[in-house]
Amino acid sequence: MPELKIRAVEATAMPLPLTKPIGSSLGTYTVVDFVSVFVHTEGGPSGFGFSMGLGGAASSAIVPYIRNELAPLAVGQDALAPEALWARLWGPNKARLRAGLGVWALSAVDIACWDVLGKAAGLPLHNLLGGFKKKVPVYGSGGWHTLSDAELVAECQDYAAKGITGYKFKIGTPRDEERIALLRAEMGEDFILFADANQKYNVREAVEVSYMLAEYGVAWFEEPVLADTLDDLAEVAEKSVVPTGAGENTYMRWGFREMCERRAVDYLQPDVTRCGGITEFRKVAHLADAFNISLSSHLAHEVSISLVGASPRGHLVEFMELTPPGLMTREFVVKDGCIEVPDVPGHGMAYTPEAIKKYAA
pLDDT tens for 66-96 read 999 999 999 999 999 999 999 999 999 999 8
pLDDT tens for 293-322 read 999 999 999 999 999 999 999 999 999 988
- Give residue 25's pLDDT band: very low, low, confident or very high (50, 70, 90): confident
What single-letter DSSP state applies at residue 252? H
What single-letter DSSP state applies at residue 180? H
Nearest to 111 by CA among 306, 361, 294: 306
Q: How far apart are CA 165 and CA 3, in angstroms?
A: 45
Q: Are 82 and 112 in contact, with CB atoms under 8 Å apart?
A: no
pLDDT tens for 317-333 read 999 988 888 889 989 99
Helix (H) or strand (E) holding 353: helix 353-359
- Give residue 26's pLDDT band: very low, low, confident or very high (50, 70, 90): confident
Q: In DSSP terms, which residues pair with 246 in a beta bridge?
A: 268
Tell me the percentage of the chain whose pLDDT exceeds 90. 89
pLDDT tens for 128-181 read 999 999 999 999 999 999 999 999 999 999 999 999 999 999 999 999 999 999
- Give residue 116's pLDDT band: very low, low, confident or very high (50, 70, 90): very high
Mean pLDDT score of the chain: 96
Q: Is 200 exposed, middle or buried (0-12, 13-18, 19+ CB in 10 A)?
A: buried
Q: Does domain 127-340 have CATH number 3.40.50.10490?
A: no
- Report the first-to-last Cα separation within the chain, whole angstroms: 38
pLDDT tens for 205-220 read 999 999 999 999 999 9
- Give residue 335's pLDDT band: very low, low, confident or very high (50, 70, 90): very high
Whether 1 has a pLDDT exceeding 70, the answer reads: no
Domain borders along the chain are 6-122, 127-340
Fold of the CATH domain 6-122: Enolase-like; domain 1 (3.30.390)
Whether 100 has a pLDDT exceeding 90, the answer reads: yes
Axis-axis angle for helices 301-309, 277-291 (nearest 10): 40
Q: How far apart are CA 43 and CA 63, in angstroms?
A: 25
Q: How far apart are CA 245 and CA 247, in angstroms?
A: 7
What single-letter DSSP state applies at residue 66? I
Q: How far apart are CA 276 and CA 103, in angstroms?
A: 6
- Give residue 270's pLDDT band: very low, low, confident or very high (50, 70, 90): very high
| Average pLDDT, integer, range 86-115 | 95
Of residues 222 and 17, more confidently modeled: 222
